[in-house]
Amino acid sequence: MKRYRSKIARRYGIQLGTSPKSPTVRRNYPPGIHGPKGHKKKTEYGAQLAEKQKAKVIYNILTEKQFRLTFVKAAKTTGDVGQNLLLRLEQRLDNVIYRLSLATTRPQARQLVNHAHFLVNGKKVNIPSAILQPGDVITLRPHSAKAKYFQKRFAEIRKDAIPGWLYLDIEKREAKILHAPKPENVEQNISTQAIVEYYSRR
């Protein structure tokens, strides 16, 4: 999955991470024998598909069914559909863990959630796509709080890197959703209008 994600990222010009070892840093051109020549001009449909794929890769959505379901729910919410979509993606549990700097990448955050390291409002949640709401409290399970990984992560966290819609108490190992993310808190390199147009065709 990691190799596939890197290939898709290179195809659509997305840089995943900043490590010099990252495939999207070492080879910032599309895969294939003609890759170094750059990205080909896309049709209107191709551009819309590319934006949808970019959002899937950036937020580490593994299946088309899951992404489409997120879009459908966003479309049923009052307001701009594109913005609603990004806000729902931001409020996913795995993304919140990533935004809190408890994981260095979204795939890692997904893995940590799958391994049931976190409690939400005191209950175990191991579903990465769970949507968190303002007021929700995230804590570590007791056995996880003792793990060397989390001890190291909490020691390295810079609180100024955490977005304003989240609060993290490093001493208590506790985080809280203060309010819904605002448009300026979400990924800015995704054309949500193109995604809306893509699904409007179907």
pLDDT in tens, 5-54: 566 666 666 666 555 555 554 555 555 555 555 556 778 999 999 999 99
Q: Domains along the chain?
A: 2-89+189-200 (1.10.1050.10), 92-179 (3.10.290.10)
Residue 48's contacts (CB-CB under 8 Å, 6 or more residues apart) are 194, 195, 197, 198, 201
Which helix H or strand E contains 40, and what residues bound it?
none
pLDDT of 169 > 80? The answer is yes
Strand partners of residue 175:
138, 168
Of 30-34, 56-60, 81-85, 152-156, the one with minimum mean pLDDT is 30-34
Copy the structure tokens of residue 28. 């910032």
| Cα 122 to Cα 35: distance, rounded to the nearest angstrom | 49
pTM, rounded to two decimals: 0.82
Amino acid at 88: R
Total length of the chain = 202
Q: pLDDT higher for 148 or 31?
A: 148
